[in-house]
Amino acid sequence: MNDAIWDRLQIAATRDEASIRRAYAVQLKRIDPEAEPARFIALRHAFEQARAFARAWPDDDEAAPFDASDTDAEIAPDGPAIATEVPDRIPEPAWAPAPLVAAAPTWMADVDAIERLIWSDTPAADIRDELIARTTQILHDPAMLSIAHAAEIERWAIDIAIDGMPRSDALLILAADHFDWVATAERWDCPPRIREVMKRYWDIGWVQSLERDGRADERFDEVYALALLRDPSLPPRSGPAAMVAALLGVIRRHHPTALHDVSPAAVTAWDAYLTRRDARWYRRAGRWLLSLSPAAWYDRRQPGTQAILARIWQYLVWTIGGAAFLFLCLVLIAIGPIGWVAAYNMMSHRSGYRS
């Protein structure tokens, strides 16, 4: 620990938070925070450092120092450690516990039942209705009006939504709407656990939109590929391979949790097939040709920025190559009849009409 901090507070190094606070208060009264902001900033910095030092565990290196001021106490990313920590620091007030929460423990039964459902072997489709009913009950329990209880339930819902994925999807959607996680996710300081839950939320929406738009022409490829990935009994084949490869790319890149919604066996089979397909000599040659493009070179220096240039190059390669091929065919076809005519002419010259 930096000595300057203790010099600023004018006390010897200590882990006693009360004396750190007292020292800070004494020093604060010696300055006028508004007239001397720089001195205040230095003092405040020393105070916060000292407090962080005091709050860190003295001998146990594994336990991270806990600083209430920048940790999310209500939706803690890793709940239990903090839940036990806070009451230690702040003595319980003399108030009686919330009567509403104590009087109506029906939600407890629902919580237990949901946990049992999620970890049971019953197929996901069969637990859905009960899951929805019980979650709705929990969320509309009068006890939810108390913010302490609501925070507890929110934390529980996040945990079960992540750990029970995808069986807990129905709960996730209800909870996300109830706690307005969509709005939370729009904030820069969205807790990582909620961001994780919301990734799943949006992926569910994406898969559902594919299911809904089943007959829309512009999404036919994706819908068809999804159907193939869901049915392990259909063996991979070359016809739809490009569509499946594209969909797998989109899933892995943008909707990773949607892998829960396809058949793992089918994905493995298709992956193996696509690897084999990519290893064929003409595909390798094609890739080599593409790698020569200036766009690909630029892309290596500036990943991801030059996708459009790469497209243009690809287009050029195919059109110029295609044009050259067509030209060759034309030449061959054209040479055929011309040759015949020429031969015929020569023959006829030789035999002559000169009679």
Partner 1 sequence: MIVGIDLGTTNSAVACFRNGAPELIPNALGELLTPSAVSLADDGQLLVGRPARDRQSTHPAQTATVFKRLMGTGRTTQLGRHTYLPEDLSALVLASLKRDAEAYLGAAVTHAVITVPAYFNDRQRKATRRAGEIAGFTVDRLINEPTAAALAYGIHDRQDREPFLVFDLGGGTFDVSVVEVFDGVVEVRASAGDNRLGGEDFNDVVMRLARETIDPADGLAGGARADRFEAVWRAAAERCRRTLSEAEEALFRIVWDGKEHVATLTAHAFEAAAEPLLHRLRDPVLRSLRDGGLRSDSLSDIVLVGGATRMPIVRRAVTRLFGRFPNASLHPDHAVALGAAVQAGLKARDAALEEVRLTDVCPFTLGVAAADHDTFGNLHHDVFVPIIERNSVVPLSRSHGFQTIVDRQTKIQFQIYQGEARRASDNVLLDTVEVVVPPRPAGEVRADVRFSYDASGLLEVDVTIPITQQTFQRVVSEGDGDADTLDARRSALAALKIHPREAAPNAAAMARAERCYESFLGDQRERIGQMVMAFQAVLDRQEPHAIADLRRELEAMLDAMEGERFL
Q: Provide the binding-site residues for partner 1, judged by CB under 8 A.
A: 21-22, 24-26, 28-29, 32-34, 37, 40-41, 44, 67-75, 86-87, 90-93, 95-101, 145-149, 151, 185-190, 253, 302-305
Work out how close the CB of 83 gets to partner 1 at its nearest, in angstroms, rounded to a whole number: 8
- Residue 251, both tokens: 């899933």
Would you say how long the chain is, in residues?
Answer: 355
Work out how close the CB of 205 gets to partner 1 at its nearest, in angstroms, rounded to a whole number: 19
Question: Which is nearer to partner 1, 68 or 269 (by Cβ)?
Answer: 68
- Residue 31, both tokens: 């300055």
Question: Which is nearer to partner 1, 140 or 230 (by Cβ)?
Answer: 140
Question: Which is nearer to partner 1, 268 or 291 (by Cβ)?
Answer: 291
Q: Phi first, then psi: give them for residue 72, nearest 5 degrees.
A: -85, 100
Of 103, 111, 97, the residue nearest 148 (C-alpha):
97
Of 201, 107, 117, 198, the residue nearest 150 (C-alpha):
107
Half-sphere exposure of 279 (CA within 13 A, CB side): 6
Work out how close the CB of 74 gets to partner 1 at its nearest, in angstroms, rounded to a whole number: 5
Sign for the CA dihedral angle at 126, 127, 130, 136 comes to negative
Question: Which is nearer to partner 1, 76 or 262 (by Cβ)?
Answer: 76
Q: What is the CA radius of gyration of the chain?
A: 35
- Number of C-beta neighbours around residue 119 at 10 A: 11
Question: Which is nearer to partner 1, 129 or 186 (by Cβ)?
Answer: 186
Work out how close the CB of 28 gets to partner 1 at its nearest, in angstroms, rounded to a whole number: 5
Work out how close the CB of 98 gets to partner 1 at its nearest, in angstroms, rounded to a whole number: 2
